[in-house]
């Protein structure tokens, strides 16, 4: 790292040659035992299903959505034209969703200043 015009700059950074962290197996084992398991981050309970995400996307985009539609591939929809069968899906999505985030996107969609 070097300072360029008062800012950190890594343009001239290089990697060292590949090799073991330590030559001593005991030191390597100490480091290995200090590692944290990452499997908890890959647990299925931390992820929503594809169908739930699809319904949420349709709701955010103002297309609506329902359980039947989430399980099948939707027909192409013109912008601003919501399919009639989507009416009930918004009510089936968990109520713990961040509504302020959805309101933010609704405001963006309605803001005429953004469209030029």
Per-residue DSSP letters for 52-106?
A: HHHHHHHHHTT----HHHHTSPPPP--TT---GGGTTHHHHS-TTS-HHHHHHHH
pLDDT reading at 110 higher than 90: no
Q: What per-residue confidence (pLDDT) applies to 26? A: 95
Least confident of 23-27, 40-44, 76-80, 87-91: 87-91
User: What residues does each domain of the chain span?
Assistant: 2-42, 48-114
- pLDDT per residue as tens digits for the range 41-82: 999 999 999 999 999 999 999 886 554 454 555 555 555 555
Would you state the pLDDT for residue 112? Answer: 62
Q: How confident is the model at residue 99 (pLDDT cuts 50, 70, 90)?
A: low
- 0.95 exceeded by the pTM? no
């Amino acid at each position: 790292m070097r300072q360029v015009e008062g800012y950190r700059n890594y343009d001239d950074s290089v990697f060292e040659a590949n090799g073991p962290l330590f030559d001593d197996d005991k030191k390597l084992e100490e480091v290995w035992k200090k590692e944290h398991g990452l499997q908890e981050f890959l647990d299925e309970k931390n992820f929503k299903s594809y169908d739930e995400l699809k319904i949420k996307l349709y709701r955010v985009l103002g297309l609506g959505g329902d359980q039947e539609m989430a399980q099948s591939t939707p027909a192409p929809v013109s912008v601003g034209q919501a399919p009639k069968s989507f009416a009930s899906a918004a009510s089936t999505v968990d109520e713990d969703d961040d509504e302020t985030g959805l309101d933010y996107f609704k405001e963006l969609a309605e803001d005429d200043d953004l469209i030029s």
